[in-house]
């Protein structure tokens, strides 16, 4: 992901995550600046096809939706997959598998013990298939999302 992608990332977020409130370009710019290794984007002939935003965090306490971080916590023990979105035309191409494989390597390279996510829009079954398990209650604002974690061994 590059700064030039941020407007398209925000537009894809609004498309894919409604009715959740959009977090917007400023949040994605902050995440990219704080942890570029966790910010991935892919394009196809139609433009931005998908993105992933992840950053170091603390297990069991996902950041609130829309929360600016300021900095990753010094006691981070997991890589938090904050957001992933695929344009409808890009679904079913294995992009989630590819992104997750890259993020697992990023987490392992930083000696983080897990990858966490808040599954929204009924996607918990997808994340279960990728080795995640429910790990607690999601913060308010995630539209009934499910906090999940995948341990890295």
List the chain domain ranges.
3-117
Non-local (6+) Cβ contacts of 127 within 8 A are 117, 119, 148, 150
pLDDT class of 61 with cuts at 50, 70, 90? confident
CA angle 125–141–81, rounded 5-degree value = 50
Write down the CATH number for the domain with range 3-117.
Answer: 3.40.630.30
Q: What is the mean pLDDT of residues 92-112?
A: 95
Counting residues of the chain whose pLDDT is more than 70, the rounded percentage is 100
Q: Residue 9 has what pLDDT?
A: 97
* Mean pLDDT score, 142-148: 88
> pTM for the full model?
0.94
- Are 125 and 96 in contact by the 8 Å Cβ rule? The answer is no
Residue 54 has pLDDT above 90, yes or no: yes
CA atoms within 13 A on the CB side of 88: 4
């Amino acid at each position: 992901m590059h700064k030039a992608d941020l407007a398209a990332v925000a537009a894809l977020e609004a498309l894919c995550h409604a009715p959740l409130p959009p977090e917007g370009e400023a949040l994605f710019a902050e995440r990219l600046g704080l942890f570029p290794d966790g910010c991935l984007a892919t394009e196809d002939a139609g433009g931005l096809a998908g993105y992933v935003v992840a950053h170091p965090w603390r297990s069991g306490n996902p950041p609130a939706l829309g929360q600016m971080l300021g900095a990753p916590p010094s006691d981070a023990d997991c890589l938090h997959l904050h957001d992933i979105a695929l344009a409808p035309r890009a679904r079913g191409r294995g992009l989630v598998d590819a992104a997750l494989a890259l993020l697992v390597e990023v987490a392992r390279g930083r000696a983080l013990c897990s990858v966490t996510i808040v599954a929204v829009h009924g996607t918990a079954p997808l994340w279960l298939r990728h080795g995640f398990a429910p790990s607690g209650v999601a913060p308010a604002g995630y539209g009934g999302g499910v906090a999940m974690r995948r341990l890295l061994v």
